[in-house]
Each structure stands twice: as C-alpha cells, then as structure tokens.
Amino acid sequence: MDALPPFDVVRPRSLDEVIVARAAHGESRLLGGGTDLVVNIRRGIVAPPVLIDINGVPELRTIKADASAIEIGAAVTLAEVAAHPGVARHYLVVAEAAGHIAGPTHRNMGTVGGNLCLDTRCIYYNQSEWWRAANRHCLKTTGTVCHVAPKSRSVCFATFSGDLAPALLVFDAEIDIAGPAGRRTLPLADLYIGYARQDEPVTQTRGDGKYFLALRPGEFVTAVRAKNTPGLRSAYDKIRIRRSIEYPVTGVAVALRRDGDTLADLRVAFTGTNPRPVRLSGTAALCGGPLDARVLAGLDALVRDQIMAMKTTFTPGHYRRRVAGVLARRLVQRLFEVAY
C-alpha cells in the first residue's frame, strides 16, 4: 500500500464528543499528530475507516507542572512538553525525553497520547505491504509465524520504542482513560501488557505482544500525571542510529536521590528493548550506601536479567542490552556526582 486508502476524519470539540465518536465507530483510531499512525496506514499495516482527531479538544490540551505534581493532556504536543518551564525545572527527565523524540517537525505534531500508545516496532513489521507480503507477513498482522522467533507460539516480540513512557515511569505516573463505559485511572506501568509470555491466554492484564496496551474497546488516554518526590534528580539519555531523527536503539530514564554520600533512592526505566517499557525492579536493594562498584555491578545484573532485546531491529539484541547497561551506569554516575 503506497497511497493512503480512503478514510473519514471526525473532529470532536469536547471530551464527551470523543467518547460518542468512539462508541459510534467501533473500528476507529485516535489521531494525535499522525506521525506513526499515518505511516502505518500508508504501509497497509492498519486501515481504520475513521480517524478521530483529538487535537481540537480543549480538555486534552492542558499542561500543568510545578514542584508538587505534573499533569499533561493527551493532545499536548511533544514540543510543548519539552519547552514547558515547569517540566524542565521539576521533571527534567520528561522534558529531555520529549525533546529527543524524532525530529523538530515530528515533535510539533506528535502528541503525548500518541507517544504513550505508540505501536510496537519490528524490522519484519514496519515495512511496505509488498515487502511483508513477500515474506508471508508475520504473526502481528495476518501471518502465522514470527520471523524473529519462529518457534514462538502466538507471541510477538515487537519492541516498544516510545521515549516518554520510561521518563514518566520513574515518577510512578498514572494515566486517565475514558471510553464508552466511563472513566478510570491506571498506573502507567499497567497500560503496557506486552509481556510476550507463551501459552497464556490474552487477558486485560496480560497481552501477547500483538496486544500490548490494556485499553478496552473504545477506550483512549486522556491525560498522564504524577506526583513529584522532593530531592529527586533525573535525566534521560538514548542511543539512536541517526542522531538527528530516529527511534531509540535504547533509551534510559534515571531518577535518584542523594543524601550526603548515600544513594537514597534509585529508579531506572528503559525503552527500545522489550515489548513494553521496563521500570527496572530490584533497584531499592542497591540503595542505602555509597555509589560504589557493588552498586554498579548490581545495576548491570538487573539490566542483564530484565532487558530482553530480541532481534527486532537492525542492531543485534545483545548489543542493545549492553548499550542499555552502559547508558544507565553513566547516567546514574553523572546524576550522583552533579552538584545540586
């Protein structure tokens, strides 16, 4: 599919109108900036008959960030997040992650909701229709085999690559969701259900890689928010093939608190490696003492255990895992040493 297929665009003016439109058009997709969705439509990966453009909904366009909390509407653009003084001052990791997504034009169009709900990626999936047809497609679309792991039974390992999610995960962010059945709030971590487990049925809390978001039919994200933790220092770093405009090979968000010479709190999250963004578990055991070789070796071990990195990109999986560990270690050391 090289030309865009026909579709209708609906432009609601309020949150209630979005909910009504979602209920009325079961196969619709939400349109943020379209910087990923429209590419996938052009490639014939998805063909929604209706796009619901949420950019004209004032309730989804607000952004608040101060010393106590951050709240960003789903239709706020990445450029707006990166340039917001309150975000840069109190949630630096979020501003840095937003400011390093794709290129400037994408950031002017791309939205927070679209970034958090970004489709997962794979070298066998993000290709033209004829390329995928020549390879008999794959499990994530209409094929029967996963080309990355041919013995996988019904499981897709495509990689989540959104940069904002790890930055928000280090603050234990929550998301607000709306849909025809009402509204609810979910820990952001629970939005991502791409666990890639075999032989387990798909449920609302466990996906199979093809289903990687815990959104029920008709639901969409309205906002993301988090409380601040006093004294937390944070930053984001990523490696990409083309530095000016590219998805992360791996991206890492770190937030830590230093109390004198003691590492008092450590939070690390990754993107670009697993079928979901990963908030590293086990970092609390590394806290309580100086940032020494034991802590850095412990961090490396956690990364080795929890970063999966299958061969879904042009870079080998083991390379991505090593880069993830190196980036995390460097960022932790830099944040610990920086004068505050």
Ligand X SMILES: Cc1cc2nc3c(=O)[nH]c(=O)nc-3n(C[C@H](O)[C@H](O)[C@H](O)COP(=O)(O)OP(=O)(O)OC[C@H]3O[C@@H](n4cnc5c(N)ncnc54)[C@H](O)[C@@H]3O)c2cc1C
The yes or no reply on residue 276 touching ligand SF4 (CB under 6 A) is no
> Rounded to the nearest whole angstrom, what is the least distance from the CB of residue 61 to ligand SF4 in the complex?
33
Nearest to 82, CA basis, from 105, 98, 67, 58: 98
Give the tokens for residue 252. 């890492």
Looking at beta carbons only, is 35 or 152 nearer to ligand X? 35
In the block, tokens 């970034």 appear at 115
Sign for the pseudo-dihedral over CA of 44, 50, 54, 56: positive
Please name the residues in contact with 43: beta carbons below 8 A apart, sequence gap of 6 or more.
1, 126, 127, 128, 129
Tokens for 24?
Answer: 């009325």
Q: Can residue 273 be called a binding residue for ligand SF4 (CB under 6 A)?
A: no
Kindly determine how many residues on this chain lie close enough to bind ligand SF4 according to the rule CB under 6 A. 14
Considering only residues 171 to 230 of the shown chain, the ones binding ligand SF4 according to CB under 6 A are 209
Of residues 54, 111, 124, 263, which one binds ligand SF4 by CB under 6 A?
124
Nearer to ligand SF4, 141 or 229 (CB): 141
Rule CB under 6 A: choose which of 41, 54, 102, 156 binds ligand SF4.
156
Half-sphere exposure of 41 (CA within 13 A, CB side): 20
Residue (of 180, 169, 176) closest to 216 by Cα position: 180
Sign, CA dihedral 127-107-23-70, equals positive
CB nearer ligand SF4, residue 61 or residue 311:
311
Is there a contact between 274 and 248 (Cβ–Cβ < 8 Å)? no
Q: Which does 73 bind (CB under 5 to 8 A by kind): ligand SF4, ligand X, none?
A: none
**Residue 38 half-sphere exposure toward CB, CA atoms < 13 A:** 14
Nearer to ligand SF4 among residue 127 and residue 306 (C-beta): 127
Min. distance of Cβ 132 from ligand SF4 in angstroms? 9
Q: Which of 98, 101, 146, 295 binds ligand SF4 (CB under 6 A)?
A: 146
Of 32-40, 76-84, 141-149, 227-235, which segment contacts ligand SF4 by CB under 6 A? 141-149
* 3-class SS string, 269-301: EEECCCCCCEECCCHHHHCCCCCCHHHHHHHHH
Quick one: what does residue 138 bind among ligand X, ligand SF4, none, with the CB cut-off 5 to 8 Å set by partner type? ligand SF4
Closest separation between CB of residue 172 and ligand X, Å?
20
Give the residue with the Cβ less far from ligand SF4, 114 or 209: 209
Q: Nearest approach, Cβ of 209 to ligand SF4 (angstroms)?
A: 6
Residue bearing tokens 């453009």 = 53
φ/ψ of 338, rounded to 5, equals -60, 140
Among the residue ranges 5-13, 58-66, 136-144, 217-225, the one whose residues contact ligand SF4 (CB under 6 A)? 136-144
Return the residue nearest ligand X (CB atom): 114
What is d(CA 193, CA 117) in angstroms, rounded to the nearest whole number? 12
Determine which residue in the list 10, 93, 109, 148 makes contact with ligand SF4, applying CB under 6 A.
148
Residues between 280 and 339 that touch ligand SF4 (CB under 6 A):
312
E strand or H helix that includes residue 189: helix 188-191
| Residues binding ligand X (CB under 6 A) | 29-37, 39, 74, 78, 101-102, 106, 109-111, 113-115, 117-119, 161-163, 220-221, 245-248
Residues near ligand SF4 (CB under 6 A) are 122, 124-125, 138-140, 146-148, 156-158, 209, 312
